[in-house]
Amino acid sequence: MQALAQNVTVIPARKRVGSRKTETQVQKIRVAAYCRVSTDSEEQETSYETQVSHYTTYIQSKEEWEFVKVYADDGISGTNTMKREAFNQMIEDCEAGKIDLILTKSISRFSRNTVDCLKYTRQLKALNIAVWRCVSRVLKKSSGIDCPARTIEETVLHDAVVTAVNDAFAQKNTVIPLLKQNIEAVINDDLEEKIRAIDKQLAELQIELINVSGDELAVERLGTEIVNFREERQDILTAAAERKDLQLRMQELIDFLDEQHTAITEYSETLTRRLVEKVTILDEKIVVTLKSGMEMEVEA
């Protein structure tokens, strides 16, 4: 592994996962790659094909490497890993001891949800599987793959989360009343009144539909109106559920701030999953968005 470029971040493998060969045998490094592109344009589809081709060619060109597979999710959002079949298969193969090293354009390819990102990074590290983050930075001139994403150490993310939570704690005399005010606004929302109004209109349209059953054009017009109102009703119910969820998340932060008597001193995975929605990494700062909707900025 001495040939690795200096600007490539590597999680070093202390042992070969799943290998049963003796140390006297020359064991090739089993290498896979992961890429994901949301293909909502022809340009992005080309990027997807380029990444798959690049990783395949590059891995196979290394004598000391054994090509495993390019795991590629095409046109699937990175917000949640549950629906990404290729990614989940890669993790299963890692757990089965089939992979020693993973190449990926950026660690954000694993998930745009930073909490999930940290989870899988730790999981791979525990399996002693190395990850080349942003390998295309080294190879972009030859591969044509650009990678503007910023690479950041996990400890920096941990510190940012701790700082953000402590900032909220330090300002809790201001934060708690504001959160309670927002909860009150959610509770007093007029969504129920809107539902009642739509239900009334739907009932009237149903009666009108019966009365014009012999008029084909009128039936079509009324049928379209009924469908539109039903869709609007469903949208309102969805919004009500989201606001209820937001109300619970704001109350969760209030409960934490009430029960916390001192600033936290170290990162906690449990606390992160309880309070943090996402972490956005910018050039000059890190923005930690709490599940209550609050955004806390931390200097990078």
The answer, yes or no, to whether residue 138 has pLDDT greater than 60, is no
Query: What's the pLDDT at 81?
Result: 52
* Residue at 116 is within a domain: yes
For the chain, how long is the longest CA-to-CA vector?
Answer: 88
Would you report the helix, strand and coil content of the chain in percent, each value rounded to 5? 55, 15, 30
Q: Are residues 81 and 135 in the same domain?
A: yes
Q: Are residues 74 and 168 in the same domain?
A: no
> Residue 113 in contact with residue 96, Cβ under 8 Å?
no
The residue among 100, 130, 149 that closes a domain is 149
Q: Are residues 163 and 133 in the same domain?
A: no
Query: What's the pLDDT at 4?
Result: 38
The residue among 93, 115, 149 that closes a domain is 149
Q: Are residues 168 and 284 in the same domain?
A: yes
- Give start and end residues of each alpha helix (H) in 171-190: 172-187
Please enumerate in sequence order all residues whose Cβ is within 8 A of that of 3, keeping only pairs 6 or more positions apart, or say none.
none
Boundaries of domain holding 117: 29-149
Alpha carbon 144 to its chain's center: 26
- Quick: pLDDT tens for 252-268: 889 988 888 898 888 88
Query: What's the pLDDT at 7?
Result: 36
* Residue at 121 is within a domain: yes
The residue among 149, 174, 208 that closes a domain is 149
- Burial group, residue 196, by CB count within 10 angstroms (0-12, 13-18, 19+): exposed
The answer, yes or no, to whether residue 122 has pLDDT greater than 50, is yes
Q: Are residues 69 and 168 in the same domain?
A: no
Q: Are residues 246 and 269 in the same domain?
A: yes
Q: Are residues 34 and 123 in the same domain?
A: yes
Q: Are residues 51 and 129 in the same domain?
A: yes
Q: Are residues 69 and 109 in the same domain?
A: yes
The CATH number covering residue 61 comes to 3.40.50.1390
* Residue at 185 is within a domain: yes
Q: Are residues 186 and 236 in the same domain?
A: yes
- Quick: pLDDT tens for 80-115: 455 678 899 999 999 999 999 898 876 666 765 666
The domain total for the chain is 2
Confidence of residue 175 (pLDDT cuts 50, 70, 90): confident
pTM: 0.44
> Residue 137 in contact with residue 54, Cβ under 8 Å?
no
* Residue at 14 is within a domain: no
- For residue 290, how many other CB atoms are within 10 A of its CB? 23
Q: Are residues 213 and 243 in the same domain?
A: yes
Please enumerate in sequence order all residues whose Cβ is within 8 A of that of 223, keeping only pairs 6 or more positions apart, or say none.
209
Query: What's the pLDDT at 42?
Result: 46
Amino acid at 6: Q
Closest CA to 236 of 180, 289, 198, 207: 198
- Quick: pLDDT tens for 180-235: 888 877 766 677 888 889 999 999 999 998 888 888 888 889 889 999 999 888 88
* Residue at 4 is within a domain: no
* Residue at 115 is within a domain: yes
